[in-house]
Amino acid sequence: MATASMTTRLFGIDGMSCGACARGLEHRIRQMTGVDQASVHYLTASMLVRWTDEVTDMTAIAERVRQSGYQLVPESRPELTAARLQRDFDLVARRLAVAVFFGMWSMAAAIALYAMPQGDATVSRALALGSGLLAMPVVAYAGADIVAMAWKSLRLGDLGIDLLVTLGVLGSVLLSISHLLSGSTSVYFDTAAMLITLLLVGRLIDLWVRKGAVAAITAMDAASPDLANRVTENGSVETVPAASLVVGDTVVVEAGSTSSVDGVVLTGSSSVNRAALTGESRVADVGPGERVEAGTINLTRRLQLRVDRDPGDRDIDRMGGRIAVEIARRGHDSTRTDLWARRLSIVIPALAIVVGVATFLTGVGFEVAASRALTLLVGACPCALALAAPLAQVRATLAAARFGVRIQDPVGFMRLAEVKDAIFDKTGTLTIGMPGVISITASDGWSEQEVLAMAAHAETGIDHPLARSIIRAHGSEMGEGGTRWDRGASAITPDGAVISVAGAQNTSDASGTVLQVLRDNELVGHILVDDPIDPSASAAIGALSSLGILCSIATGDNANPAHRVAEAVGIASGLVHAGCTPAEKADLVRAAGRPVLFVGDGINDGPALAASACGLSVRSAHASASSTAHVAIVDEGIRAIAPLVRLSRRTVATVNENIVLATVYNVVLVPLAATGMMTPLTAALAMLFSSLSVLLNTWRLGLSARPRAAISALGNVMRH
């Protein structure tokens, strides 16, 4: 039976402006026959889809997206996404300018109308008509996208603030027109303008946050460009930017490293993991004549590839780039404000209808009943919620820059507030990641240099800190390259002997990591390797412990060096997990049963970073780890983590306070509106006051940071 052909591709989505849109579209695409996986990432307006070629295709997916009210963009690169977001930002800014200008004059006419003494019907009617005419550009132009998004949310079955604002705007306009036709000058056009203006303010701030997220992706690409080991004409190997390669070049891909090229295997056989392209962590064997794609992790042995695709035309480039793909794979996580908006979009219209019907049944007349229903609809509209999270994220981004931290996923950053467990990788995270050979002990009949040479045979061609330390100590590589295993390496020498290197057991008195070297299963010696502990690690662990976070270690190293580092930094011995494979690290995260922070630096930390509530990469992290992390430390060491946790907690607390403020405001307003003690205008003014209270409350976040210093630091982070 033939295996079905699968395609994975990253698309851009044009016209998406709310989290509800992302959830609804993701649900509709997942329902398509033949679609295996689909994730829509709201911040970057991208969608990663994996489908069966024999069942569906890109045309069908594009049609489903179109039916949902959006446009499928064939490719989603960070620079293209940034351009689309900038275009949307400029458009919303223009709409907001129109809303502020015409809305201000519409409100001025309404205030004059209500302030002037009764008697001059001609002037009153002129002011009422003037207020309406001035509000029309706001409703027709500035509010056009809001109405469109409300319609889309109805079609997708995932309601949000756009629907509530649209109902409030349409209700205000229709009731005002009805009053004018009946000879009354009680109009609420200015209320409609205020609703649109407030939501546009929130949308503009949200786009600013999203632009910042894409800028972080672009900066991460720039800070960690793809490199390749190119074989020169004289047979030597030089490290060059992958972008400088041309079709036909020969490159070397070490075991344990990620291929930066698309190419065909010339020499070597190995096992590879194509999870970056397929989303599935399946191991495949490759040998001469078979293709290896950029983003593929070479697991076991060194490979030589002949480049067969130009930079920019690799499979991963066609999908949008490795970092963009990793971020899109996360999809959209519902926030607390999303959930509240979804509930209120059902509750508030229902309450307005109940109040309107109940009032009408008392015999007061249709206009009074409609006015009370509109008052409740306008006053209870949660425009403040549209501001709460984006404002807090802007403040948090500026404050985090002060710690040398780049927030790549604001939702992941806010989950950091819930973390009760922090799991640290050891090498390169709690240590500086530059181990060196301290001593060599040879068994009888062997010399220290022979032991080191045999170890170099096994470690040649392997991309790992310990392997590099062995090669540096020896001075050169040996042989064609060893085979990398989860907890060691091996090679066959020219005379047929099998050399293996692995962590030694029962070495509790050692001051570092002890590697045992065997030849044909006979011990020939030990090599002591030490990786200095990060001087800030102990203070960082202590600071996290004081915040109520339980710290532990998960490492692929042996127990003794892991316990030694744990003791030095203040982690209990019972919280050390040694000899872990990458999959076992991820299992530890999932087994915790509560939100976990994982801190790592290497390719083998990728699964755990992705599985955690918040993944954090350290300053010296491998590009694949940085791309998977929600938050990246770019300037400071791990001492920045505790301040970051405190900032996340303050951010979440601020958002929760804003929700409480909006809820209390609604609780007070609903009975006043239902009993006729408020008019639509006073309800709109009260809604404005609620939004201002959210703005002022959010502005307190990060006040301890000097604004100029924070902005300067943010610029430095973006340039890093």
- pLDDT of 265-283, one tens digit each? 999 999 887 766 665 556 7
What is residue 422's predicted lDDT score, i.e. its pLDDT?
96
What is residue 537's predicted lDDT score, i.e. its pLDDT?
93
Boundary residue ending a domain (289, 323, 357): 323
Q: Which tokens hold the place of 428?
A: 């390169």
What is residue 141's predicted lDDT score, i.e. its pLDDT?
95
Decide if pLDDT at 188 tops 60: yes
The SS3 call for residue 562 is helix
Cβ(530)–Cβ(510) under 8 Å? no
215 and 86, same structural domain? yes
Decide if pLDDT at 320 tops 80: no
What is residue 513's predicted lDDT score, i.e. its pLDDT?
82
Rounded distance, CA 225 to CA 616, Å? 19
133 and 97, same structural domain? yes
Q: Is residue 362 part of a domain?
A: yes
Q: Is residue 641 part of a domain?
A: no
Q: What average pLDDT score do residues 599-616 get?
A: 84
Q: What average pLDDT score do residues 301-305 get?
A: 92
Decide if pLDDT at 323 tops 80: no
Cβ(304)–Cβ(298) under 8 Å? no
What is residue 714's predicted lDDT score, i.e. its pLDDT?
34
Describe the strand order of the beta sheet including 283-286 as a list of residue ranges: 283-286, 270-273, 297-298
The SS3 call for residue 662 is helix
Q: Is residue 640 part of a domain?
A: no
What is residue 507's predicted lDDT score, i.e. its pLDDT?
62
Rounded distance, CA 541 to CA 566, Å? 10
What is residue 1's predicted lDDT score, i.e. its pLDDT?
44
pLDDT digits (tens, 9 = 90+) for 419-443: 999 999 998 889 888 888 999 999 9
Pick from 424, 421, 455: nearest CA to 557: 424
Q: Please name every residue paired with 292 in a beta bridge, in sequence order, or none if there are none.
A: 263
For residue 549, give the CATH number of its domain.
Answer: 3.40.50.1000
More confident residue, 714 or 381: 381
For residue 23, give the CATH number of its domain.
Answer: 3.30.70.100
Q: Given the DSSP bridges, would you call strands 237-241 and 297-298 parallel, antiparallel or unpaired?
A: unpaired
Residue type, position 478, single letter: M
More confident residue, 577 or 557: 577
List Cβ neighbours of 377 (8 Å cut-off, separation of 6 or more): 164, 167, 168, 171, 348, 349, 352
Residue 2 pLDDT grade (very low, low, confident, very high; cuts 50, 70, 90):
low
More confident residue, 195 or 666: 195
List Cβ neighbours of 266 (8 Å cut-off, separation of 6 or more): 250, 288, 304, 305, 306
What is residue 334's predicted lDDT score, i.e. its pLDDT?
55
Query: DSSP letter at 3?
Result: P
Q: Please name every residue paired with 423 in a beta bridge, in sequence order, or none if there are none.
A: 552, 598
Decide if pLDDT at 331 tops 60: no
Q: What share of the chain is helix, strand, coil (3-state, %, to 5)?
A: 50, 20, 30
629 and 543, same structural domain? yes
More confident residue, 98 or 293: 98
Q: Is residue 1 part of a domain?
A: no
What is residue 217's predicted lDDT score, i.e. its pLDDT?
61
695 and 592, same structural domain? no
Q: Given the DSSP bridges, would you call strands 436-442 and 631-633 parallel, antiparallel or unpaired?
A: unpaired
What is residue 303's predicted lDDT score, i.e. its pLDDT?
93
70 and 34, same structural domain? yes
What is residue 694's predicted lDDT score, i.e. its pLDDT?
75
497 and 369, same structural domain? no
Q: What average pLDDT score do residues 34-55 get?
A: 83
Rounded distance, CA 573 to CA 562, Å? 9
Mean of per-residue pLDDT scores for the chain: 82
Query: DSSP letter at 135?
Result: H
Q: Compute the half-sphere exposure of residue 690: CA atoms within 13 Å on the CB side of its CA.
A: 33
309 and 163, same structural domain? no
Q: Is residue 443 part of a domain?
A: yes
What is residue 221's predicted lDDT score, i.e. its pLDDT?
59
543 and 422, same structural domain? yes
List Cβ neighbours of 537 (8 Å cut-off, separation of 6 or more): 430, 431, 568, 569, 638
What is residue 452's predicted lDDT score, i.e. its pLDDT?
95
316 and 234, same structural domain? yes
Domain range for 281: 227-323
Boundary residue ending a domain (511, 530, 549): 530
Q: What average pLDDT score do residues 515-537 get?
A: 92
Q: What average pLDDT score do residues 475-503 get?
A: 88
Integer Rg of the chain from CA: 31
553 and 675, same structural domain? no
Cβ(160)–Cβ(153) under 8 Å? yes
Q: Is residue 130 part of a domain?
A: yes
Decide if pLDDT at 605 tops 50: yes
Boundary residue ending a domain (634, 667, 692): 634
The whole-angstrom distance between residue 365's C-alpha and the CA centroid of its chain comes to 53
The Cβ of residue 339 has, within 10 Å, a number of other Cβ atoms equal to 12
The Cβ of residue 180 has, within 10 Å, a number of other Cβ atoms equal to 17
List Cβ neighbours of 158 (8 Å cut-off, separation of 6 or more): 20, 21, 23, 24, 27, 342
Distances (CA, A) of 477 to 117, 404, 421: 95, 37, 41
Rounded distance, CA 146 to CA 166, Å? 7
Question: For 32-46, 514-528, 599-613, 666-680, which range has the lowest pLDDT when averaged over its residues?
Answer: 666-680
pLDDT digits (tens, 9 = 90+) for 215-232: 766 665 565 557 889 999
Distances (CA, A) of 653 to 387, 537, 609, 671: 15, 28, 25, 28
Q: Which tokens hold the place of 512?
A: 């570092």
Q: Is residue 446 part of a domain?
A: yes
262 and 211, same structural domain? no
Q: What average pLDDT score do residues 681-710 get?
A: 64
Number of structural domains (the chain) is 5
Q: Given the DSSP bridges, would you call strands 405-407 and 522-530 parallel, antiparallel or unpaired?
A: unpaired
Q: What average pLDDT score do residues 300-313 get?
A: 88
108 and 16, same structural domain? no
Q: Is residue 661 part of a domain?
A: yes
For residue 441, give the CATH number of its domain.
Answer: 3.40.1110.10
